[in-house]
Structure 1
Amino acid sequence: LFPEIITTEQQSLVLVKRLLAISVSCITYMRGLFPESSYGTRYLDDLCLKILREDKSCLGSLQIVKWIQGCFDALEKQYVSVFFTFLNGTLTELYQFKFKYKNKVPQMDISSNQTEFVTGLCSKDVKQASRRLLRTLYLLMQNLRPLPNDITLTMKLLYYNDVTPEDYQPPGFKEDTGSGDLLFGGDPVNLRVGSVSTDFHLMKVKVTTDKKRLRKADSNLIQKNGPTEISHQGLDCEEEEEEESTKINLLNLAFSQEEVIGPEKKRKVSEPEKLLLNCRK
């Protein structure tokens, strides 16, 4: 399921791609979006994983698979961080997959007079962190109350402006033309699912939901002073800066910096070309 060793950038990329695909599959399966035929089964130790596949009988699940493939393209280019949301008039649930890309620096091996990459993280530790993240996500999904029947699903791709070409759009996505302001219904609570770090990538997963929709949760998951405002600036902020954000009920997914640095520097955002979700169980 995951690479046996994770010592190269390509192996690390395979890991984060699979973690993203499995996580999104877990969310859609546990939230009851698509029929059993839309999923294949894999096992991670004793954890049964349901993974989305291209089910031509269900247009909704087929569309999600295409979204994930578009995310893979942006991940390969090191451009993107991802928001995955359920909407019901207002924002019902938000899943944030935050990716950071590390610049691996060659180090000199003095004894052999050779310049090479020195591995700092053990593959075993990385895989343990991956298993822990998925288990936590599954546990959290089991403790969320059912979604409303008239739910809409969308995905927002937010980019690092300093490296992303202005005209870039991954397959299946287009420029986000919305206002970017989404009102979160109820009393939002932020939950830290976990993170996985390799020598080349860092992936963090957070969930925001209405407190009333949460049956119970490990207190260690809850960000008591965590941010409910998600802005484009957040992609370039350090974690400590994010923790200091003020808790409010308005999520600004298209935060504009026009007042400071002009409209040409507004954070680049993509949205799906199509929104299909007509295969609820």
Structure 2
Amino acid sequence: MATAQLSHSLTVHKASKETLFPTEITNEHESMIMVKKLFATSVSCVTYLRGLFPESSYGERHLDGLRLKILREDKRCPGSVHIVKWIQGCFDALEKRYLHMAVLTLYTNPKEPEKVTEIYQFKFKYSKEGATMDFDSYRNSANFEKGTKSKDIKKASILMIRRLYMLMQNLGPLPNDVILTMKLHYYNSVTPRDYHPAGFKAGLNSRFLLFEGEPVNLQMGLVSTGFHSMKLKLTTESARVSDRERRLFQENNTTEIAHQGLDCDEEEEECNKHIQRLNFLCNQQNPESSRKKRKVSVPVKVFIPRK
């Protein structure tokens, strides 16, 4: 279905006493709240700034002088109800420490979901101490490890959201027809075979994805609390990204785009990632001898935005 590309801007206002993230993270429970809120906020930023839902589908929260829009169930917009249910399903998998990666994908042809236009990868890791979200090495940014002070975790999270907002407002427009879906990848060693959170069903672990144009990986960052970690990466067509954004966010600081694709866990999958024009592949080097692919869940229903 056709959908209009809406234009939303980042608003700065006087700081409010209301805060989005916890002010203290001293245990696993507080860490889990932090990671959940950061994940939900990031997904909300993507859907809002890419114009997928109307203004009525969002509530307002404040973060360090920023006025953020947080997705909520809007009965007038069934798509928002689906996405909120997906987010809640991810929360369940996070609480059980099953979720390895949530992949939010936009594509245009319902008969060819492997031909994508944008991919958002949220990758999670867990530790005995708690949850962590890591940032890749950015110029003028820092890595936060276990035992990091709460103020540093909050600072890193705010930086991620600011970077996401900055990039979203400068990306080229999406096609008029966009379909949204989310695929969940799990840690096989701990996840029951029959586990699928509410709103999801068993899915196939696709071995390849395709882009119409040349894809480029853009790193939003990684935040670590000492208990959990979440890493966010966007892959989109290079033509949608300005030279300035590419310099700020690109995964590789080289002229050649290589070794890009869906993140694969080094211990469980040996991936030979290869990118060519019109071809975005993530193949296992030796399917006969490699370990099992990750268990995957897909939504019971995909969301097709309506104009």
Tell me which residue corresponds to 2:247.
219
Tell me which residue corresponds to 2:13.
none
Contact kept? 2:119, 2:234, Cα under 8 Å: yes
Tell me which residue corresponds to 2:112.
none
SS at match of 2:25: coil
After TM superposition, the structure 1 = structure 2 runs for residues 178-189 of structure 1, keeping only pairs within 5 Å, are 179-189=206-216
Contact kept? 2:215, 2:280, Cα under 8 Å: no
What 5-or-longer segments of structure 2 have no aligned partner?
Answer: 1-19, 110-114, 131-145
**Are residues 223 and 158 of structure 1, via their aligned partners in 2, closer, same or farther at CA, if it must alter by over 3 Å?**
same
Residue 261 of structure 1: CA displacement? 5.1
SS at match of 1:48: strand
Letter of the 2:265 counterpart: L
Letter of the 1:82 counterpart: A
Tell me which residue corresponds to 1:88.
108
Deviates more, 1:169-178 or 1:151-160: 169-178
**Are residues 202 and 179 of structure 1, via their aligned partners in 2, closer, same or farther at CA, if it must alter by over 3 Å?**
closer
Tell me which residue corresponds to 1:210.
237
Q: 2:289 aligns with which of 257, 260, 263?
A: 260
Tell me which residue corresponds to 2:139.
none
After TM superposition, the structure 1 = structure 2 runs for residues 26-37 of structure 1, keeping only pairs within 5 Å, are 26-37=45-56
Letter of the 1:272 counterpart: P
Contact kept? 1:59, 1:279, Cα under 8 Å: no
For residues 201-231 of structure 1, the C-alpha deviation after alignment (integer angstroms, 9 at most, x for no partner) is: 1111110110101134051311125632226
Q: Distance in 2 between matches of 1:127 and 1:218?
A: 26
Contact kept? 1:255, 1:267, Cα under 8 Å: no
For residues 61-105 of structure 1, the C-alpha deviation after alignment (integer angstroms, 9 at most, x for no partner) is: 110000000000001011111111111242100101010001229
After TM superposition, the structure 1 = structure 2 runs for residues 41-52 of structure 1, keeping only pairs within 5 Å, are 41-52=60-71
SS at match of 2:220: strand
Q: Distance in 2 between matches of 1:237 and 1:88?
A: 34
Q: Distance in 2 between matches of 1:98 and 1:226?
A: 20
Tell me which residue corresponds to 1:74.
93
Question: Normalising by structure 2, what TM-score?
Answer: 0.78
Q: Distance in 2 between matches of 1:15 and 1:227?
A: 31
Contact kept? 1:35, 1:279, Cα under 8 Å: no
Tell me which residue corresponds to 1:116.
none
Letter of the 1:51 counterpart: I
Q: Does 1:250 align with 2:263?
A: no
Q: 1:139 aligns with which of 154, 158, 166?
A: 166
Residue 257 of structure 1: CA displacement? 7.0
**Are residues 75 and 226 of structure 1, via their aligned partners in 2, closer, same or farther at CA, if it must alter by over 3 Å?**
farther
Q: Distance in 1 between matches of 2:123 and 2:157?
A: 15
Q: Does 1:61 align with 2:86?
A: no
Residue 258 of structure 1: CA displacement? 4.9
What 5-or-longer segments of structure 1 have no aligned partner?
Answer: 106-118
Q: Distance in 2 between matches of 1:279 and 1:33?
A: 8
**Are residues 256 and 24 of structure 1, via their aligned partners in 2, closer, same or farther at CA, if it must alter by over 3 Å?**
farther
Contact kept? 2:274, 2:281, Cα under 8 Å: no
Tell me which residue corresponds to 1:190.
217
Residue 59 of structure 1: CA displacement? 0.5
**RMSD (CA atoms):** 2.4
SS at match of 1:51: strand
Contact kept? 1:38, 1:58, Cα under 8 Å: yes
Question: Normalising by structure 1, what TM-score?
Answer: 0.85
Q: Percent identity?
A: 53
Q: Does 1:8 align with 2:40?
A: no
Residue 278 of structure 1: CA displacement? 3.2
Letter of the 2:147 counterpart: G
Letter of the 2:208 counterpart: D
Q: Distance in 2 between matches of 1:272 and 1:259?
A: 29
